[in-house]
Chain A
Amino acid sequence: MRSYLVLRVVAKLLMPFILVFALYVQFHGDYGPGGGFQAGVIFASGFILYSLIFGIQAAGAVMSRGILRFATAMGLLLYAGVGFYTMLLGGNYLEYDVIAADPTKGQHIGILVIEAGVGITVASVMIAIFFTFAGRRKADQA
C-alpha cells in the first residue's frame, strides 16, 4: 500500500475526535438527540476509517475477531441483564424505576446502562461486518 502522507496525518488527527464524539453522542442521549445506535455507528466508523487507511491487519491488531465477538455478546447480555435485574428487584422487565430509590434517578441509570449495551453491540457488529467483507476480498485475490 502506498502511503499518502496527508491521509495518514488527517486520519490520525481525526480518530480521537471521532471516538470522543461517539462517546459524547452516547452519553448525551439523555438530554438531546443521540443514543447507543448512533454512537455505536460513529464509533465503528472511526475504526473503519482507520482500517481503510492503515490496512485491515493494523486495525485487526487493535480489535481482534475474538474481542469483537465477545463484545457483541456482552452488549446484548448487558441489555438483557438490566432487564433481568429489574425483574429481580420486583419490577417488570426493563422497569427502571426500581433500580434506585428515586424513580427518576432509576430511569437515568437504567437508560444509561441499556444504551451502553446497545452502543457496544452496534459498534462491534458494524466493525465485524466491515472486517468480514473487506477481509474476504483479500482472501480471493491471494
Chain B
Amino acid sequence: MIAQLPALIVVIPLIGAPLCMLVRYRDWSWTVATLCTWASFVCAWIILQQATSGNTISYQMGGWAPPLGIEYRIDLTNAFVLLVVTGIGSIIMPYARESIRSEFGTRRIYFFYTAYLLCFCGLLGVTITGDAFNLFVFLEINSLATYVLIAMGKNRRALTAAYQYLILGTIGATFIVIGIGLLYAETGTLNMYDLSNRIAEVGASRTIGAAFAFLVVGISLKLALFPLHLWLPNSYTYAPSMISAFLAATATKVAVYVLLRFLFTVFNYELTFDALPLDYILACLALIAMFAASTVAIFQQNLKRMLAYSSIAQIGYIVLGISFASSAGVTAGMVHLFNHAMIKGGMFLALGCIMYRVGTVNINKLDGIGKRMPLTTAALILGGFGLIGVPLTAGFISKWYLVTAALERGWWPLGFLILLSSLLAVIYVWRLVEAAYMKPVPENAKVVEEAPGSLLFPTWFLIGASIYFGIETNLTVGVAMDAAKQLLGGLG
C-alpha cells in the first residue's frame, strides 16, 4: 500500500469531491471533506519520511513507463510542499464547520466542500506531478475551484474579484500552456526530467528562450509576483475567511514550487541564471514588491486587505531568496514559504474569528478589540510579530537565513533593504496593536464574546506552530536545506 501513496494522496480528495455532492446533508459533507484532507495529510507525512531518506519516489500512472506515461515524481521539495498544503488543509477543517455555517447559512453548503476538495486536489496534483502538461491540468482544476470559492464570499464585490482573478488566472494558465507547447515542439517530450536532459542537449535556442519567458510570466501571474499581483488583494479580501486563510497559506506557495521546479529542474541552472539575467530581474521585482506592497498595506483600513498586501510583500521575500540562485538562498525561500504559510494562515483565521463575532474587519471599528476578544487578538498580534521577524518567531528564522544568503552572495545592500522593509511591517502591525490595546472600547459597542473553541483552536494551533518552528528549526531548515541541495545539485 505504501507504494500507492503518491496516487492516493491526490485520488482521495478527488473521490471525496463527488461524494460530498452526493451526501447532501450539511454535516455529512463536512465529515467527508475532513476525513479526506486528514487522510491526505497522513499520506503526505509518510511520503516526507520516505523522501528524507534520500530516495526519489517515482510512480507511474496506469503502469505506463515515463517519459511516455504520466509520472508522479517526488523528491524532498515536493514532499515538503505537500506537507505544507495538506497540513494547512487539515488544520482549517475544524474551523471550516462553524465559520462556513455563519457565513453561508446552511443552504448549498455541500457545493462549498465539493469545490474545496477539488481545489485541494488540484494543489496536490500540481505539486506531485512530474509531467508538464499534467501540471497545467491540475493547475486549472485548482484555479476553477478557487474562482468558485472566492465568488462564494458574502460581499457582492467577491463576484468581481473572482471574475478579475478568472481573467488574469486564465491568461496566466494560457501562457503556461504556450510555454509548455514550445518546449514540446523543441524537445518532443513532456516529462520534466526528460525535458531537462533534452534542453541541456539542445542548449539555449530561441524557442527555448521564448518558452522560458512565457512560463515565467505565466507562473508569476499565479504567484502574484509584483507587478502581476492585481488579482490578489480583492480575492483575499472578499473570499470567505476560511478560504482566504487557505489560499494565502497554500495557493501562492504551490506557485512558488512550480517556479522553483521550472527554474532549477526543467531549465538547468546555467540556462536560467547565466544565459539570462533572471536573478537580477527577479531580485528587482521582489524588492519592489516588498516595499510597494508593505507601503500600501500601511494605508489599508480593511484588515483582510492589509494582510493581502502583506502577502504580496512576503512573496517578495520568498522570490528574493530564489533569485540568489544559491543553495542558501533557496533554503531561505523555502523556509519562508513554510513559515509564511503558518503565520498568514493563522492570521487570516484570527481575522475570521473577529469577523464571526464582530461582523467586520475594518480597523476603525475594532477599537479596543484586545479587551473584548483577548485570545483572538493575541493570536493576531503574535502572527504580526512573525511577519516583522521578531526573534523567537518563525519569521525571524526565515529572515535570518535570507539576510545570510544575501551576504553570502555579496549583495550586502540587499541585506540592509530586507531589514528596512521589515520596519514597514512594524508600522502596519503597530497600527493593529494600537487599535487593539491602546484605544478604549467605544461605549456603544455591542458585547462580543470570545470566539468559540472550534474557531480558536485551529487559529492558535497555527500561530503556536509558527512560534514552535521559530525555536525548533530542525524540521523546517533541515528539510529545506536538503531540498535546496537536491534542486541545485541533483539537476541533470
Of all chain B residues, the one with the shortest Cβ separation from A81 is: B15
**Residue interface bits A50-83, CB-to-B below 8 A is 1, else 0:** 0000000000000000000110111011001101
Stretch at the interface among A9-17, A38-46, A92-100, A134-142: A92-100
State how many residues of chain A have any CB contact under 8 Å with chain B: 19
Residue pair B63, A83 in contact (C-beta under 8 Å): no
Does B358 make an interface contact (CB < 8 A)? no
Does B413 make an interface contact (CB < 8 A)? no
**Residue interface bits B10-34, CB-to-A below 8 A is 1, else 0:** 0100110111011000000000000
Does B7 make an interface contact (CB < 8 A)? yes
A74 to B17, CA, bound (A): 11
Of all chain A residues, the one with the shortest Cβ separation from B110 is: A69
Once A95-B62, A95-B63 are accepted as A-B contacts, the answer to whether A76 and B18 lie under 8 Å apart by CB is: yes
Once A93-B62, A97-B63 are accepted as A-B contacts, the answer to whether A73 and B19 lie under 8 Å apart by CB is: yes
Residue pair A92, B63 in contact (C-beta under 8 Å): yes
Residue pair A80, B14 in contact (C-beta under 8 Å): yes
A37 to B63, CA, bound (A): 23
Once A91-B63, A92-B60 are accepted as A-B contacts, the answer to whether A77 and B7 lie under 8 Å apart by CB is: no
Residue pair B4, A73 in contact (C-beta under 8 Å): no
Once A93-B62, A94-B61, A97-B63 are accepted as A-B contacts, the answer to whether A73 and B21 lie under 8 Å apart by CB is: yes
* Of the residues B17, B59, B63, contact of A76 by C-beta under 8 Å: B17
A80 to B125, CA, bound (A): 14
Of all chain A residues, the one with the shortest Cβ separation from B21 is: A73
Residue pair B11, A84 in contact (C-beta under 8 Å): yes
Residue pair B7, A83 in contact (C-beta under 8 Å): yes
Residue pair B62, A73 in contact (C-beta under 8 Å): no
A109 neighbours in B (Cβ, 8 Å): none
A95 to B61, CA, bound (A): 7
* Of the residues A80, A84, A92, contact of B62 by C-beta under 8 Å: A92
Does A87 make an interface contact (CB < 8 A)? yes
State how many residues of chain B have any CB contact under 8 Å with chain A: 16
Residue pair A73, B7 in contact (C-beta under 8 Å): no
A91 to B7, CA, bound (A): 12
CB distance from A63 to the nearest CB of B (A): 17
* Most central of A70, A83, A96, A97 by chain B CB within 10 Å: A83
A108 to B482, CA, bound (A): 44
Residue pair B63, A77 in contact (C-beta under 8 Å): no
B21 neighbours in A (Cβ, 8 Å): 69, 72-73
CB distance from A103 to the nearest CB of B (A): 10
Of all chain B residues, the one with the shortest Cβ separation from A121 is: B18
B61 neighbours in A (Cβ, 8 Å): 92-94
* Of the residues B11, B22, B60, contact of A73 by C-beta under 8 Å: B22
* Most central of B14, B18, B22, B60 by chain A CB within 10 Å: B18
Once A92-B60, A95-B63, A96-B62 are accepted as A-B contacts, the answer to whether A87 and B7 lie under 8 Å apart by CB is: yes
Residue pair B14, A92 in contact (C-beta under 8 Å): no
Residue pair B62, A72 in contact (C-beta under 8 Å): no
A70 neighbours in B (Cβ, 8 Å): 22
A70 to B14, CA, bound (A): 16
A80 to B21, CA, bound (A): 15
CB distance from A136 to the nearest CB of B (A): 15
Of all chain A residues, the one with the shortest Cβ separation from B60 is: A92
A74 neighbours in B (Cβ, 8 Å): 18
A80 neighbours in B (Cβ, 8 Å): 11, 14-15, 18
Within 8 A of B (CB), among A121-136: none
CB distance from A76 to the nearest CB of B (A): 4
Contacts A70-B22, A76-B18 known; 14 new A-B pairs at CB < 8 A = A69-B21, A72-B21, A77-B15, A77-B18, A80-B15, A83-B7, A92-B4, A92-B59, A92-B61, A93-B7, A93-B11, A94-B61, A95-B62, A95-B63
The 5 closest A-B pairs by CB, nearest first: A73-B18, A95-B63, A93-B7, A94-B62, A76-B18
- 27 residue pairs of the A-B complex, CB under 8 angstroms, read A70-B22, A72-B18, A72-B21, A73-B18, A73-B22, A77-B15, A77-B19, A80-B11, A80-B14, A80-B15, A80-B18, A81-B15, A83-B7, A84-B15, A91-B63, A92-B60, A92-B61, A92-B62, A93-B4, A93-B7, A93-B61, A94-B61, A94-B62, A94-B63, A95-B62, A95-B63, A97-B63
Q: Which residues of B contact A (CB under 8 A)?
A: 4, 7-8, 11, 14-15, 17-19, 21-22, 59-63
